[in-house]
């Protein structure tokens, strides 16, 4: 039996079936007006049902004892006072607290780009507030020994994935190549189209690349034995915990990422420790594994991985800077869109899938030989990672448009405000290759940063 990451509390569910409308793989089962349940063998763990659910238990309506029981079942801290909804994920806060309290462990943390444009909402800030500096400060107050950034590995991902795409185009490799940074999408493909796995990029996600680099390159820089280095990531995604547990994700010799917290869990932990988030100063992430460019930041929005890849891929192919850094042709959220981008003599045909519910026709076209593209980005959640299942919950559906719009706007604002906006311009990434990896797609890169998915999702 597949481990359960997302569940629906049978005692709380009213059977409204709103969750079934947002499930991209028809994994929620049950009759109308009866408690629903998730089928763990079909669930892609995207958490959109968690975001949508409106059935709950609260202290005011159901009493302190009933509330405390459910809170304890889910591993939530006593400081947690919010309503507890039927659709939920299981918290790993206690695991993180235990690691932080262990004097024999050196704790490092990484944060995904979408976290910084959403977490402040849980502390009363306007929807979509950019809080990159306060986020770094909060992680230090929690007690992590080093505060790094997944964006560093997003820049590395572009170096590897861009090189892989060019290699496939030039050498007649399997095309189109699909992005592999969204674990819910990877799981969907494994469940429904296992024969098409060769179309996935072999790149691990930025989370897993960063984890592998923590316990190799980072451990050497920090002079910490890899076995004593405890790796935490903070993600907008409820599928990242299962990704980190996959059997393929141990190429550093250890489990590359030990535990994953969602944006919401980090907010709960900050509150539990009595940290005043809004009063924190802006601080920087630690170098070198916390240095990043604007290209990495836009990984959090639909089309962002594609745009970041084009900014660097253009220069890798032509030797010239891309004429316009803002590649607006791949931006947007309208289901499936495609564009032709002129890269020197090559007309690069690209596609972007926003929301997994739109991917089936694309995959059917691929099977039928009708998908005439070079590169396709797929994100499971409705507007990319900024709308992930682990982001702050929007109680009113009417707030979603404003929240997602503001988070996207804050992401692009952050990109525009950074001094470097192309992944290959990141000096810390350049040093990583010079001192450790040597070159994209090289021996060490293949060992640590690439993988071949096993293809049997029942094994993870």
pLDDT tens-place string over residues 178-196: 999 999 999 999 999 999 9
Q: Are residues 146 and 248 in the same domain?
A: yes
Q: Where is the domain boundary, 89, 124, 143? A: 89
Nearest to 111 by CA among 140, 86, 71, 90: 140
According to the model, what pLDDT value does residue 213 have?
98
Q: Are residues 157 and 44 in the same domain?
A: no
The whole-angstrom separation of Cα 314 and Cα 316 is 6
Among all residues, which ones are annotated catalytic? 161, 164, 181, 201, 240, 243, 248, 385
Nearest to 459 by CA among 253, 246, 255: 246
Let me know if residue 42 belongs to a domain.
yes
Q: Where is the domain boundary, 39, 55, 89? A: 89
According to the model, what pLDDT value does residue 2 have?
47
Q: Where is the domain boundary, 39, 57, 89? A: 89
85-135 pLDDT, tens digit per residue, is 999 999 999 999 999 999 999 999 999 999 999 999 999 999 999 999 999
Let me know if residue 396 belongs to a domain.
no
> What is the rounded average pLDDT of the residues 6-18?
94
> Structure pTM?
0.95
> What is the rounded average pLDDT of the residues 40-49?
96
Q: Are residues 182 and 135 in the same domain?
A: no
Residues 386/215, Cβ–Cβ less than 8 Å: no
DSSP 3-state assignment of 89? strand
| DSSP class of 433 | I
The CATH number of whichever domain residue 35 belongs to comes to: 3.30.70.20
Q: Are residues 276 and 303 in the same domain?
A: no
Residue 36, pLDDT above cutoff 60:
yes
| DSSP class of 179 | P
Q: Are residues 276 and 333 in the same domain?
A: no
Let me know if residue 1 belongs to a domain.
no
Let me know if residue 268 belongs to a domain.
yes
62-73 pLDDT, tens digit per residue, is 888 989 999 998
Contacts (Cβ under 8 Å, ≥6 apart) of 407: 114, 117, 118, 127, 128, 300, 301, 383, 386, 387
194-253 pLDDT, tens digit per residue, is 999 999 999 999 999 999 999 999 999 999 999 999 999 999 999 999 999 999 999 999
The whole-angstrom separation of Cα 204 and Cα 206 is 7
The whole-angstrom separation of Cα 409 and Cα 445 is 33
Nearest to 29 by CA among 52, 5, 12, 13: 13
Q: Are residues 32 and 58 in the same domain?
A: yes
The CATH number of whichever domain residue 385 belongs to comes to: 3.40.950.10
458 pLDDT band, cuts 50/70/90, is low
Let me know if residue 398 belongs to a domain.
no
Q: Are residues 162 and 310 in the same domain?
A: yes
DSSP 3-state assignment of 260? strand
DSSP 3-state assignment of 418? coil
Both tokens of 390, joined, read 């682990």
According to the model, what pLDDT value does residue 62 have?
83
Tell me which of 334 and 362 has the higher pLDDT. Answer: 362
The CATH number of whichever domain residue 285 belongs to comes to: 3.40.50.1780
> How many separate domains does the chain show?
3
Q: What is the mean pLDDT of the chain?
A: 94
The whole-angstrom separation of Cα 375 and Cα 211 is 26
Q: For residue 71, count other CB atoms closer than 10 A to its CB.
A: 19
Let me know if residue 251 belongs to a domain.
yes
Both tokens of 282, joined, read 């802006």
According to the model, what pLDDT value does residue 140 have?
98
According to the model, what pLDDT value does residue 343 have?
92
Q: Are residues 131 and 237 in the same domain?
A: yes
Q: Are residues 55 and 158 in the same domain?
A: no
Name the residue range of residue 78's domain: 6-89
Q: Are residues 230 and 329 in the same domain?
A: no
Let me know if residue 404 belongs to a domain.
no
> What is the rounded average pLDDT of the residues 270-281?
97
Q: Are residues 309 and 349 in the same domain?
A: yes
Let me know if residue 407 belongs to a domain.
no
Q: Are residues 349 and 438 in the same domain?
A: yes
């Amino acid at each position: 039996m597949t481990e359960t990451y997302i569940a629906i509390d049978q005692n709380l569910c009213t059977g409204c079936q709103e969750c079934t409308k947002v499930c991209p793989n028809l994994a929620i089962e049950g009759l109308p007006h009866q408690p629903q349940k998730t089928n763990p063998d079909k669930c892609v763990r995207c958490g959109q049902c968690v975001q949508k659910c409106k059935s709950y238990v609260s202290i005011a309506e159901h009493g302190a004892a009933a509330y405390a029981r459910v809170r304890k079942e889910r591993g939530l801290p006593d400081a947690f006072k919010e309503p507890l909804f039927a659709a939920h994920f299981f918290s790993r806060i206690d695991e993180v607290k235990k690691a932080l309290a262990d004097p024999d462990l050196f704790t490092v943390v990484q944060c995904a780009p979408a976290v910084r444009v959403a977490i402040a909402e849980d502390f009363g800030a306007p929807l979509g507030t950019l809080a990159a500096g306060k986020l770094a400060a909060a992680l230090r107050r929690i007690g992590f020994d080093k505060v790094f950034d997944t964006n560093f590995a997003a820049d590395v991902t572009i170096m590897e994935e861009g090189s892989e795409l060019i290699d496939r185009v030039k050498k007649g490799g399997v095309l189109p190549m699909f992005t592999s940074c969204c674990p819910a999408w990877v799981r969907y493909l494994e469940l429904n189209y296992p024969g098409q796995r060769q179309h996935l990029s072999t790149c691990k996600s930025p989370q897993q690349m960063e984890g592998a680099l923590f316990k190799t390159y980072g451990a050497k820089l920090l002079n910490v034995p890899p076995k004593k280095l405890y790796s935490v990531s903070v993600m907008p995604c409820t599928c990242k915990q299962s990704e980190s547990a996959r059997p393929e994700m141990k190429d550093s010799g250890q489990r590359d990422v030990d535990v994953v917290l969602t944006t919401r869990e980090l907010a709960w932990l900050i509150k539990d420790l009595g940290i005043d988030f809004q009063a924190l100063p802006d601080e920087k992430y630690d170098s070198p594994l916390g240095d990043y460019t604007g290209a990495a930041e836009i990984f959090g929005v639909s089309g962002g991985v594609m745009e970041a890849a084009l900014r660097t891929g253009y220069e890798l192919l032509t030797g010239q800077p891309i004429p316009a850094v803002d590649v607006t042709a791949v931006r947007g959220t309208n289901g499936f869109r495609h564009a032709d981008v002129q890269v020197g003599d090559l007309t690069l045909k690209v596609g972007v899938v926003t929301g997994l519910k739109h991917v089936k026709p694309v995959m059917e076209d691929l099977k039928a030989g009708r998908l005439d593209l070079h590169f396709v980005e797929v994100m499971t959640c409705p507007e990319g990672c900024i709308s992930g299942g682990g982001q702050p919950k929007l109680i009113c559906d009417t707030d979603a448009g404003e929240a997602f719009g503001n988070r996207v706007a804050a992401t692009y604002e952050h990109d525009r405000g950074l001094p470097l906006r192309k992944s290959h311009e990141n000096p810390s990434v350049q040093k990583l290759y010079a001192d450790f990896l040597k070159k994209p797609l090289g021996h060490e890169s293949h060992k640590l940063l690439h993988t071949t998915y096993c293809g049997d999702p029942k094994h993870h």
